[in-house]
Amino acid sequence: MSEQGTTTARTHSAGFTAHGVTLVRTRPDGTSVPVLDDLNLEVSPGEMVCVSGRSGTGKSTLLEVCAGGVRPTSGELFWAGTRLHALPDRPLERWRSATVGYLDQGSSLLEELRIVENVLLGIARPSTANIHAAHAVLTRLGIGHLAESWPRKCSGGERQRAAIARALLRAVPLLIFDEPTASLDARSATLVLDVLDEARTEGAAILVASHDDLVLNRADRIIHL
């Protein structure tokens, strides 16, 4: 693993830290397969860090681990001083729900809900203000006109931006996005990155996996797997 980028002030207690993260999976035949091996990274509030590398190097798995969706075989994970790796399942899930805006490569939406309803998922009782905010973030991502549309009527790139809107709506302090521009043209990708820049300016810590030059050029630091 190698790293490049600008030098920024980083504090272990202020943002996200992964130290010595290793993940080993077992195949059906019983053999062990190392997926991640002694990886380290830090993401401070107001910083965007990009994980880059060829397919199969573990980028998506690393993001899943950092988002609290997969426990590492060994290593330590910290958020604002909290030892995430030591939390039982339920407190870890509460942390994930309250702290992380996560986008996987599937950009999954519920087909039985309209786009704006998908964006509001995770908010138990959406208020009028929540609904207005959902429409606003969809508009900022260039798909405000699709708020009342069904996902099946939308293109892959439109669905991806709807999933991004859902991750952004709650204004959580840690955003973890896997290939956020993969299905987007340059104009749409720029809209997404502009919104991420706004979140970064407001103090969000942002971790993305990408090989898109548009993303790499916006990142404060790049970690190569």
Q: Give the ranges where 6-147 is alpha helix by DSSP (H).
A: 59-66, 89-99, 115-119, 128-140
Only one residue has tokens 């599937």, namely 106
Question: Cα(40)–Cα(83) distance, rounded to whole angstroms?
Answer: 15
In the predicted structure, residue 9 carries a pLDDT above the cut 80? no
**Which structural domains are found in the chain, ordered by start?**
2-224 (3.40.50.300)
Question: Quick one: pLDDT band at residue 1, thresholds 50, 70, 90?
Answer: low
Do the bridges between strand 32-43 and strand 205-209 make them parallel or antiparallel, or are there none, so unpaired? unpaired
Dist CA 89 CA 107 (whole Å): 24
pLDDT of residue 18 exceeding 50, the answer is: yes
Percent of the chain with pLDDT over 70: 94
pLDDT tens-digit readout, 59-114? 999 999 999 999 999 999 999 989 999 999 999 999 999 999 999 987 789 999 99
Mean pLDDT of the region 15-22 = 95
| Per-residue pLDDT, 28 | 87
Question: What's the pLDDT score for residue 3?
Answer: 57
